[in-house]
Amino acid sequence: MTDKKKSVHDAWSSRFAFILAATGSAVGLGNIWKFPYITGEHGGGAFVFVYLACVLLIGIPIMIAETMLGRRSQRNPIETMELLTEEAGADKNWHYLGWMGVIAGLLILSYYSVIAGWASAYIVKAFTGSFFDADAVAIKGIFTGFVGSPMQLIFWHSLFMAATMLIVVRGVKNGLEKAVRFLMPSLFLLLLILVGYAMTTDSYFQGLHFLFVPEFSKLTSDSVLTAMGHAFFTLSLGMGAIMVYGSYLPKGISIAKTAFLIAGADTVVALLAGIAIFPIVFANNLHPDTGPGLIFQTLPIAFGAMTGGWLMGILFFVMLTIAALTSSISLIEPAVAWLVENKGFSREKACVWSGLATWLLGLGTVFSFNVWSNVKFFDRSIFQLLDYLTANLMLPIGGFCIAVFAGWIMKRQHSEQELNMPTALSYQAWKILISYVAPLAVFFVFLHVVGVL
């Protein structure tokens, strides 16, 4: 392809390094904090069913497309869209897609960092033994006291943003590979132990029933939109994060296989979190629709009650924080890569500016849990509004455009060459999913939400 400008990009050391980084981006608060609480709010099984269908039919094909676009151009998302439109001889306006991604990333990170701050604060709470023998009421008291204090939330939000920026300054490769390599297996193990604890409660099967037996009558159009939006959110799709990582991917590596692996790992982590949490919810007469505080009001009960719970609690929140870190760096990387590669910023300067802007915006989320809890836009708090705007609207719209671009605008011979699938049939299957199934599904869900269908 045309080499307009020399790429200043790093490259991953291997396919495995890419898998680690992309899994690090995908697995995060979305799986352990968000999936359980939105599943609880939207009635369980049927919501999970729609979410799984969206991962399979929309998420995976778009993950393949996003990785492919990034790798083909080896540039940041904005430049990727510019270059690839030029290559396809298409309209220039496609680069706005890259823009939307950069903005969505910063918006998401602004609230992501606040919640990640909660996870970090809970490391200290676990360490000081706050959960020891505490019942559901006491654990709830700890949570409401904590989120009611703006100063505490600001402190932890700032700490988390600073940690994110420190890692991003050093470039995506350094440290990230190592962090994820140890993180994933340990997180997996801890979740298994928590599932083990959930089995000892007498509500284990009630939890499983809630999670896996669909009652489709409970689904509203809003639930379907949330489930679809979550498929994008949890796989880090629709905003260029995976595109950036794809741009560091060496040529000649199978993108499709890699996407299946990443999406599979991501889904397993989310389901395990759900299996661990809902039995605790029911065993303690809590409500599944507790909202964003759900994991903070359930898992500490387990840590307070089980043998070895003190250490487990510390480890769990440490790992949740690291999982959030490996996601947050991918949320800000598109902005940083663009400032460095197009605006001539030094990496340090790019990090400071984008980090500061995100931190400032995050204060809106901080206050929405306390002093501004009554401030509502369209019936939503600032946090809920940001979440809705990004996960339910911007990511699916971004994903829709990526699907249309990969399926309709990009020349077939280019995508075929870049994907290099083992059989013509697998390429064809992807092509149908990306050209028809994924965009139409997103389109119909939107139509349904605005009441046209």
The minimum distance between CB 390 and ligand PFF, in angstroms, equals 8
Tokens representing 209 are 């029933």
The minimum distance between CB 164 and ligand PFF, in angstroms, equals 12
Closest to 410 in 3D by CA, of 93, 95, 88: 88
Tokens representing 317 are 């929140």
Q: Which is nearer to ligand PFF, 331 or 382 (CB)?
A: 331
Q: Which is nearer to ligand PFF, 130 or 236 (CB)?
A: 236
The minimum distance between CB 34 and ligand PFF, in angstroms, equals 7
Closest to 325 in 3D by CA, of 190, 204, 183: 183
Q: Which is nearer to ligand PFF, 139 or 231 (CB)?
A: 231
Exposure on the CB side of residue 293, measured as CA atoms within 13 A: 16
User: Alpha helix (H) ranges present in 213-254?
Assistant: 221-234, 241-247
d(CA 325, CA 309): 24
* The amino acid at 35: F
The minimum distance between CB 42 and ligand PFF, in angstroms, equals 17
- State the residue for tokens 């396919």: 15
Q: Which is nearer to ligand PFF, 267 or 368 (CB)?
A: 267
Alpha-carbon dihedral sign for residues 443, 449, 451, 453: positive
Q: Which is nearer to ligand PFF, 29 or 404 (CB)?
A: 29
Q: Which residues are near ligand PFF by CB under 6 A? A: 25-26, 28-31, 105, 108, 233-234, 236, 239, 241, 327, 330-331
196, containing H or E segment:
helix 176-200
Residue 242 near residue 62, CB atoms below 8 Å: no
Q: Which is nearer to ligand PFF, 111 or 282 (CB)?
A: 111
Residue 99 near residue 272, CB atoms below 8 Å: no
Exposure on the CB side of residue 135, measured as CA atoms within 13 A: 4
Cβ neighbours for 162, distance < 8 A, ≥ 6 positions apart: 355
Tokens representing 22 are 């992309």
Find the residue with minimal CB distance to ligand PFF: 30
The minimum distance between CB 14 and ligand PFF, in angstroms, equals 22
Q: Which is nearer to ligand PFF, 50 or 262 (CB)?
A: 262
The minimum distance between CB 271 and ligand PFF, in angstroms, equals 13
The minimum distance between CB 293 and ligand PFF, in angstroms, equals 17
* The amino acid at 395: L
Q: Which is nearer to ligand PFF, 97 or 286 (CB)?
A: 97
The minimum distance between CB 263 and ligand PFF, in angstroms, equals 11
Residue 398 near residue 392, CB atoms below 8 Å: no
